[in-house]
Amino acid sequence: MRLLNADDIIRWVREKPEARVPLIYHGLPKTLDEKEGGRVTQLFIEAFSSMEQVAGSLMAHFVYGGAWSGPRSLYLRSKRDEARGWLSGLRTPAVEEWVTRYIATLSQDIELAEIEEERGF
């Protein structure tokens, strides 16, 4: 998806959003950094995050997709730090709101991960 025109992708999804939104969000780059293909993700959030379950599904795609080694809390911290960096370059309130919620979700998950790590789970 990173090699395609972001505006064309969103235009295609808008033609049949009920059918295409569920198809596309799994393949969105897990970044908002435009150098890494995040423009399409930003446009997607802007266009479709108001649809029922889209914001949450995309949140799950970002938070729970991927693999890591080592403490889960460190992995989540790095994701949160990256998301904080995105805030300075955002252009729209919808994307800023989504990123703010994403950061809050990561913060909650970091706390839970730290508790589990302390208890040895």
Tens-place pLDDT, residues 14-45: 999 999 999 998 899 999 998 899 999 999 99
Q: Report d(CA 31, CA 19) in Å as an integer.
A: 23
- 9-16: Cβ within 8 A, 24+ apart: 9/40, 9/43, 10/40, 10/43, 10/44, 10/47, 13/44, 13/47, 13/48, 14/47
In degrees, rounded to 5, the angle at the alpha carbon of residue 3 between the alpha carbons of residues 76 and 26 is: 45
In degrees, rounded to 5, the angle at the alpha carbon of residue 2 between the alpha carbons of residues 11 and 64 is: 95
Predicted local confidence at residue 20, as pLDDT: 95
Q: Is a pLDDT exceeding 80 seen at residue 52?
A: no
Q: Is a pLDDT exceeding 70 seen at residue 83?
A: yes
Return the domain boundaries, the chain.
6-119
For the entire predicted model, the pTM comes to 0.88
Q: Is a pLDDT exceeding 90 seen at residue 64?
A: no
DSSP conformational letter for 35? G
Predicted local confidence at residue 38, as pLDDT: 93
Query: Which tokens hold the place of 73?
Result: 């809390």
Predicted local confidence at residue 66, as pLDDT: 79
Compute the mean pLDDT over every residue in the chain, rounded to the nearest whole number.
91
